[in-house]
Amino acid sequence: MMKSFLQYLGIEPERYQMAWISGSEGQKFADVMTHVVDEVKKVGPNRKLREEHE
């Protein structure tokens, strides 16, 4: 549902990711954050923000 809402707002759904990580899973947190950053970089700048500035 959240991804559909983001699409409605003009935000790529790839920018939203969710993971369950315990406070004791520091390495898992670091791995997930690295993955999220890599995925968002692939998507590039937000198209809605680009359209507003053009």
CB-CB contact of 29 with 21 (8 Å): yes
Structure-block tokens of residue 52: 């507003």
Query: Quick check: pTM over 0.75?
Result: no
Given a contact cutoff of 8 angstroms between Cβ atoms, the answer to whether 43 and 12 are in contact is yes
Structure confidence at residue 51 (pLDDT): 60
Domain ranges of the chain: 2-53
User: pLDDT digits over 19-47, tens only?
Assistant: 999 999 999 999 999 999 999 899 888 77
DSSP 2: H
